[in-house]
Structure 1
């Protein structure tokens, strides 16, 4: 009798549990940390919390929000860029610290294309050009004429150097041929209040906060910064369609996305992309976020972040150089 066969069979039976365990040990097996480089209740934070709840259901693991605030979002981005590339530390951020900050801030210590791996674009949206209702210009053409009349007399508020509200106005001023004084603020609340009060002339404001003030008659809107109409503000016309030849092609919009450290396994990225795509395709979730003034990208567009980053950087790099914009 051959005693080798029973012995081999015994070893095979002993190995089955180990093989079975190896098959079930697939990503994710523990909680995932999602770094948001902005404060709680910011637009990025609100999206992160809503998305994380849905992704937790898909991935069968909790996603824990970690607000890493500071330096215009670059501290949080830097933390993720240096994190282990295992899929358990992710970044949910707006586009500014990915695209603009590296162009104007020499202290930025990460290279977006080398240190981070795009997972999915999540949302996109324009800004609204607003002023006090008392400003004697009722449309874009009248506004440009007024600003040209007395160069350097009028001012604009921004959420800080390098913010999208800053860059959008610099582009507007250059295309329209007007001279404006820049007054940077540390955030949108006081900037908006000073525009309402007339201490500052203009501002590119977020749709979420500006809309309520426009409806209340406390702000006047001249239109959206994106070339395409915004589904959240169908009553607002793009500036590019109103400003004649001067503003033809004017197109500024911010976006948010989910990223991982560079070197994260492709299988992990694919798992995340599939889960995010399913959430973005959920009609109820899209309606929920629209009610919160957030326009989600279409699922098929969610994987175009790398292309978007390259295009944005090329556009803003040209403006930064020509206008001499830098972090002060």
Structure 2
């Protein structure tokens, strides 16, 4: 028996060590959240990603009993914020408001990605889907899709369109339009939708395929001219604005979506708790109303449903990127 004693002691010590290692995670999950939560937004304040993050963050904080802080980290089509979030501690206290750009487009668009959209994140749920809205400065000489196409063909390379960054859905909506309408327009990337809209208001750029939440207020104020929506159906918020498909580019469709993620490795109980709270607040009438007022549709789902959706979207947009010829070094 004495010969086996060291082995038995080693085995017992290993078991005790493993149990002790699990305690912090278990305790963290039981006490979660015990401090403020940060949502990293990979675009500038004032854009759609930021607007949705603030709507959801406020409701999520109230439900969880902790404040939620918005941290805007713009640049590289969302990749700067995505890299920061992917490298953050996997403890549930740092979340990421991802987009169709960061999690379905950029992997095909960028030659080098600073993170893996699938492996480096734990999906929580989509938050909303929104149409993009083709808007122009009122000083521009076109009011409809056919007029825009005719003007662009008569003035190749002279119509510029802004976006929230290379690889964003706003950018790819424009590239898809260029390809399908067979026009030559120049892409001007910005560090977020808000600064691009500011230049559009000042007529420094001609048009944008902007996410509706960040453009609709200016349309309602008469500061921007709505030309068409990018979805297959008209938006209830702007029922008189035609779709691009019905206005002259048959088959055109592009929709943006936004969702919350945690870093990969976040304990399953915390992921489950965050998803439960997120789905709860997304189903609150006041939250639905706020998102609908921005032109968005709420989507509440399980992490598994969100993960399957992302895989399908990645396949879809990789084809769009390839066909458009868009790329970023």
Scaled by the length of structure 1, the TM-score of the pair is 0.78
Aligned: 1:307 with 2:308: yes
The answer as to 2:88 corresponding to 1:56 is no
Instruction: Give 1:28's match in structure 2, choosing from 32, 35, 41.
Output: 32
Point out which structure has higher relative CO (alpha carbons under 8 A, 6+ apart): 2
Q: Which residue of structure 1 aligns with residue 8 of structure 2?
A: none
Number of corresponding residues? 303
Q: Are residues 217 and 61 of structure 1, via their aligned partners in 2, closer, same or farther at CA, if it must alter by over 3 Å? A: closer
Structure 1, residues 282-321: CA drift from partner, whole Å, max 9, x if none?
A: 1122223434x25241435886432332233223322333
Query: How does 1:212-251 map onto structure 2 within 5 Å?
Result: 212-243=217-248, 246-248=249-251, 250-251=252-253
The alpha-carbon distance between structure 1 residues 285 and 154, as it changes in their structure 2 partners (threshold 3 A), is closer
**Structure 2 Cα separation of the partners of residues 25 and 286 of structure 1:** 29
Per the alignment, in what secondary structure is the counterpart of residue 241 of structure 1? coil
CA change 1:255–1:25 in 2 (3 A) is closer
- In our comparison, the structure showing a higher alpha carbon Rg is 1
Q: CA RMSD in A?
A: 3.1
Match of 1:176 in 2: 181
**Aligned counterpart, 1:258:** 260
1:273, CA displacement in angstroms?
Answer: 1.5
Q: Which deviates more from structure 2 when the two are superposed, residues 25-34 or residues 164-173?
A: 25-34
- Equivalent in 114, 117, 123 of residue 112 of structure 1: 117
Q: Deviations over 1:191-240 (max 9, x none)?
A: 44554565544321332443344344443222101113323323322212
SS of residue in 2 equivalent to 1:130: strand
Distance 2:138 2:289 in 1: 32
1:145 CA displacement: 3.6
Cα distance in structure 2, aligned partners of 1:204 and 1:270? 35
Structure 1 residue 188 displacement after superposition: 4.1
The answer for the alignment partner of 2:159 in structure 1 is 154
Matched, 1:85 2:124: no
SS at match of 1:114: coil
TM-score by length of 2: 0.78
Structure 2: give runs of 5+ residues left out of the alignment. Answer: 1-25
Equivalent-residue separation in structure 2 for 1:23 and 1:203 (angstroms):
48
Tell me how far 1:62 sits from its aligned partner: 3.6
Q: Deviations over 1:54-106 (max 9, x none)?
A: 22333334434333444333222222222333323221233322223333333
Where structure 1 has 5 or more consecutive residues not aligned to the other structure, the ranges are: 1-21
2-structure distance, mates of 1:222, 1:257: 27
1:27 touches 1:268 (CA, 8 Å); kept in 2? no
Q: How many Å separate the matches in 2 of 1:25 and 1:188?
A: 36
**Distance between the aligned counterparts of 1:41 and 1:195, measured in 2?**
14
Instruction: Report the CA distance between 1:122 and its aligned residue.
Output: 0.5
